Amino acid sequence: MIRLAFTAVLLLAGVLAFSAFYLAKGSEGQPTEITTGTPDGPSPAAQAPDTPEVEKLFFLRGIDFENGEISLVLFQPGTEHERLIIRDQAALLEAQDKAFVNTTTPDGEEAGSLLLNMMGAPSEETIAQIFRDDVLIAAVNCPNSSCGHFADSSDIDYAGLTDFSVPHQTINDEFSTYEAYIATIEGIADDPNYMLLDQRPLVDFPLAQRPAHLIVELPNVITDDASFDPSLHEALVQSAIVPLLPDGADLDWVQVTDQGPAVLADKDNNQPVLAGGAPIVFTGAQFYSVRARINGVTTLPTDVYNALTQASLRQVDIDAAFPDFVTSRLQTDCVDCYFLKVEGGYSDEAHAFDWRSEAYYLNYYDLREAP
């Protein structure tokens, strides 16, 4: 596995209309007008309004080849994976005044547009992207379906560049440690045999570290004490968890949440029982969910869960009051036909609720010559 560094910074620029073309160069220098028409002369004279003028956009013209390496990526319109990568500097320089896209088709539709320092994945309309040292500096869009297809047409001329494409393989890497992820990015920046090009993530690159984490659900608080203070219970849980954590783990937060009132529900359909159109509320206790997030682990030993259960269990006996509650409300002897339904449910033991392993993903190109 290679080791890579991320040093590039993407800059945003605007989309240019093609009544006149300007190269908003950003790091390339001051804005420079792009010449339209043929390399040997100005554009043809204006046509009649019903015959739109066809102008050529020479998309490599004005690119500075003196600083860094220029790479051109050509895309197959309508496909996700097919592309050609051209890195031959002499061939690209030779094609500066030859490779073009028509900016207006005979039926009047715009056939080419240039976006500079564009930050975004290629769309089905993107036929080319230009990179300097693996940083996007320009892209060519072609809404007309006749453009592209890795072949010259009436609307595009690659000037023979397709003959200079290099072999490449897309690498889909996954890392379980942040150190390996960052080292791979640094390796890509240092080794010209590997490049991100259009695989570079659109935002948040490189990713911030996202450590493994575990969310523990602790016993729900079931209390008839009107003075119950959730913040005091949070402090109790924190003091119980911290001494039990293994090396490399730390407590992120503890949350105690009011679940609202419990209501009487029918076991046959799991639905609240209604009286006068409203649920029958159990007034004998209040219910609170208790959760804690622990960073650095995805599980805990069984004895830790047992210790947390014993340390945080705070539940009044609702089973004793439940039969009288049912019979007084429903005048029935079938107490077992009903249960107390609480938003989110409730439990009397600590257990893992949710977890995520540390993981990072990176796609890039291996551009080494095929053996």
Residue 317, both tokens: 């006996």
130 phi, psi to nearest 5 deg: -115, 130
* Locus of tokens 């523990």: 216
- Distance in angstroms (rounded) separating the CA atoms of residues 17 and 110: 10
On whether the CB atoms of residues 162 and 173 are closer than 8 A, the answer is no
Q: Is the pTM of this model over 0.75?
A: no
pLDDT string in tens for the chain (371-residue length):
444 433 333 333 333 333 222 233 333 433 233 333 333 334 344 444 555 566 788 889 989 999 999 999 998 765 565 889 999 999 999 999 999 887 765 555 555 555 544 445 566 678 889 999 999 998 887 665 555 567 666 778 899 999 999 999 999 999 999 999 999 999 999 999 999 999 998 888 999 998 899 999 999 999 999 999 999 999 999 999 999 999 989 999 999 999 999 999 999 999 999 998 999 999 999 999 999 999 999 999 999 999 999 999 999 999 999 999 999 899 888 999 999 999 999 999 999 999 999 999 999 999 987 54
